[in-house]
Structures are given as structure tokens and as C-alpha cells.
């Protein structure tokens, strides 16, 4: 009920001014152009996640530190390949608390896992990288606060600090940070944005707002981005949500990532990093990120 009321309020605000929902930090409703997929694009790569195992010709679930600059500790939890499963025509990335650490080696660091929250990621780095086109996944988001799922794109140039994103930009097609909200309760939204110039003092992040999806923690929705030489255009269920050319558009091929992360630092979960609320996955419980497919299209 609260979600419906907020949606009505957002619709009214957008009628008077499309900028008001973002100004008030409210999710917006996708109101942009419809994606003309069949006429403009052709499918060049996909994974429908059939079978019972991850297709290692397409994805890696055990990336090395040298490849991705990441270790097994990921914010408030751990990334581990055992949290990745393929079943019933879906990729499933699970997040749960482990009182007994999972075994390494992963990421070349066999002794860095501990008690805490475990989840996972897969990436096409070193296998498949793409420049320009339309990139889409269809997914059901994990039902938990204190964590989020994401579909995003990266390359090594993101770490170069030169006041430009042309050598590489982190493209966040979506992040599911709002399963529940502390004060107005409408959590059926995701956020999107880009990052470039590394993650230190030179870092630049451009948030493009929060956008409603259709009951995304219970039902499949599609999340996509069109990336061309001039801009990034983001979509939910084929309707534009936002666009940007901030920093200059990446001119280098990028790889795809599907992941879940737990809010916190140094493997220790704590409440409300990035506004996601306190972690609410109790021992014995699990939250699943369920991905039906990932597809890559390029221009005809």
C-alpha cells in the first residue's frame, strides 16, 4: 500500500516537474523513450544459464587479484565461488551467514576467510569484453536489507586518474540497495550511476537517481544500458530511466559483472553503509539473486 501511495505521489510530482523526485531523494518512474531493440540491434552474446554448472567459457567465478584488483574480502562480507549456483534455468548468487569459514584458496589467498557473510560474483574479464551496444539482464533481486545485488561493467582504465572516464568507466546498470526503506517504506526501486578516476582522492561518481521496477524482489524485471560513443542510456523493462555523458564516455572494451555485496568494511557487516539499512539475514537464512539471462547486443 505504501509503495502505491509513493508511486502516486511521484507521478504527481513528475507531472509538475520531472526533477522533483530526485531533488527529494524519491524514486522516479521510468518515463523516457522505449527501447527500439529489434530494429537497431542484433544479439551477439548471451547466457541463458541452462544446465547445472556455470559456463566457464563465458564467466569466471574465481577472479585473481591481479585481474580485478580485488581480494576475497568484499566490503562487509566475503566473495566465494561456492555461493554461485546454476539451477532451473537461472544463475543464483546466494548470500548467507557462515559461522564456519568456507575453505580457500580463492583469489590466491587461502587464509583470509573468516566467520561472517558470504556471497559471490562472476565476471567475463579475460574472456569476453565489449565496446558499445546494449547490455541487459533479467533478474529477481535478493530480499534483504544490509546488502545489494548489481549488474555492472568495468575495465582496468577505471583506475587511471586523469579527469576523464574515456579510458574506462564503472557502469552500474543497477544496484538493488533499497529492499526496504527506514522512513517511507517503498523499496521497489534500484539506483544507477557511473564512476571513474579510481576509488581514491581522484574518484568521481555520478548518481543518476532511484527508479521503480515492477515488484523486483518477487518478479523478473529487465535492466539494461545502451552505451554508444556519445552517452550511456539506462533502461528498466525497456523504458528509459536516465542518460549521461559525464566524464566522457568510455572508449575501451569493458567486461560484465553480476555480484552481491554486504554493507560494511574489512569483512565486517555493519548497518546502513550506502543507505541500505542494517543487515537482516539471520544465521540459517539466505537471500538469493536470481538471474534468468544476460544478453549483449551491438548495433546493426
We report the CATH number of the domain holding residue 245 as 2.60.120.200
Please tell me the distance from the alpha carbon of residue 156 to that of residue 159, in angstroms, as a whole number: 6
Do the domain assignments include residue 208? yes
What confidence score (pLDDT) does residue 74 get? Answer: 87
Query: Which distant-in-sequence residues (6+ apart) come within 8 Å of 175 by Cβ?
Result: 148, 149, 150, 152, 190, 191, 192
| Closest among 241, 232, 149, 236 to 196, alpha carbons compared | 232
The single-letter DSSP state of residue 70 is -
Do the domain assignments include residue 23? no
Under 8 Å between Cβ of 65 and 71: yes
| CB-side neighbour CA atoms (13 Å) of 170 | 24
Domain count, the chain: 1
Do the domain assignments include residue 24? no
Q: Where is 37: in which H helix or E strand?
A: helix 37-40
Do the domain assignments include residue 79? yes
Do the domain assignments include residue 14? no
Do the domain assignments include residue 15? no
Please tell me the distance from the alpha carbon of residue 297 to that of residue 300, in angstroms, as a whole number: 9
Residue 152 bridge partners (DSSP): 172, 257
Kindly report the CA angle at 72 between 99 and 128, in degrees rounded to 5?
130
Q: How many CB atoms lie within 10 A of CB 39?
A: 6
For the segment 211-229, what is each residue's pLDDT rounded down to a tens digit? 999 999 999 999 999 999 9
Do the domain assignments include residue 11? no
For 25, the grid coordinates are 531523494
| Closest among 227, 253, 258 to 123, alpha carbons compared | 258
For 236, the grid coordinates are 528498466
What confidence score (pLDDT) does residue 179 get? Answer: 85
Kindly report the CA angle at 69 between 79 and 164, in degrees rounded to 5?
125
3-state secondary structure (DSSP) of residue 89: coil
Residue 45 bridge partners (DSSP): 296
The single-letter DSSP state of residue 102 is P
Please tell me the distance from the alpha carbon of residue 108 to that of residue 118, in angstroms, as a whole number: 17
For the segment 128-184, what is each residue's pLDDT rounded down to a tens digit? 999 999 999 999 999 999 999 999 999 999 999 999 999 999 999 999 988 876 445
Do the domain assignments include residue 64? yes
Please tell me the distance from the alpha carbon of residue 89 to that of residue 168, in angstroms, as a whole number: 32
For 73, the grid coordinates are 574480502
What is the DSSP pairing of strand 255-262 with strand 147-154? antiparallel
Q: What is the pTM of this model?
A: 0.89
Structural domain boundaries, residue 116? 42-299
What confidence score (pLDDT) does residue 20 get? Answer: 56
Ranges of the chain whose pLDDT falls below 70 = 1-25, 62-71, 105-111, 181-186, 271-275
First to last CA, the chain: 44
The single-letter DSSP state of residue 266 is T
For 188, the grid coordinates are 521497489
Residue 46 bridge partners (DSSP): 295
Amino acid at each position: 500500500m505504501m509503495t502505491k501511495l509513493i508511486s502516486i505521489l511521484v507521478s504527481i510530482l513528475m507531472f509538475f516537474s520531472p526533477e522533483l523526485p530526485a531533488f527529494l531523494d524519491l524514486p522516479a518512474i521510468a518515463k523516457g523513450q522505449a527501447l527500439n531493440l529489434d530494429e537497431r540491434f542484433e544479439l551477439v552474446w548471451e547466457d541463458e544459464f541452462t544446465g547445472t554448472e556455470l559456463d566457464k567459457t563465458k564467466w569466471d567465478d574465481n577472479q585473481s587479484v591481479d585481474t580485478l584488483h580485488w581480494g576475497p574480502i568484499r566490503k562487509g562480507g566475503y566473495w566465494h565461488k561456492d555461493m554461485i549456483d546454476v539451477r532451473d534455468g537461472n544463475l543464483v548468487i546466494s548470500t548467507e551467514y557462515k559461522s564456519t569459514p568456507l575453505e580457500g584458496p580463492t583469489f590466491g589467498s587461502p587464509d583470509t576467510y573468516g566467520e561472517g557473510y558470504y556471497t559471490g560474483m562472476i565476471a567475463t574479464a579475460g574472456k569476453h569484453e565489449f565496446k558499445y551496444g546494449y547490455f541487459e539482464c533479467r533478474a529477481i533481486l535478493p530480499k534483504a536489507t544490509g546488502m545489494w545485488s548489481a549488474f555492472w561493467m568495468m575495465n582496468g582504465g577505471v583506475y587511471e586518474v586523469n579527469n576523464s572516464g574515456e579510458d574506462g568507466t564503472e557502469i552500474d546498470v543497477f544496484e538493488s540497495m533499497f529492499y526496504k526503506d527506514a522512513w517511507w517504506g517503498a523499496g521497489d526501486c534500484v539506483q544507477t550511476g557511473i564512476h571513474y578516476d579510481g576509488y581514491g582522492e581522484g574518484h568521481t561518481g555520478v548518481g543518476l537517481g532511484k527508479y521503480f521496477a515492477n515488484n523486483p524482489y518477487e518478479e523478473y524485471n529487465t535492466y539494461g544500458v545502451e552505451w554508444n560513443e556519445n552517452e550511456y542510456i539506462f533502461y528498466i523493462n525497456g523504458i528509459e530511466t536516465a542518460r549521461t555523458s559525464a566524464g566522457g564516455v568510455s572508449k575501451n572494451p569493458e567486461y560484465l559483472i553480476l555480484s552481491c555485496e554486504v554493507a560494511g568494511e574489512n569483512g565486517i557487516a555493519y548497518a546502513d553503509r550506502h543507505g541500505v539499512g542494517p543487515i537482516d539475514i539471520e544465521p540459517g537464512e539466505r537471500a538469493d539473486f536470481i538471474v534468468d539471462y544476460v544478453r549483449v547486443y551491438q548495433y546493426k
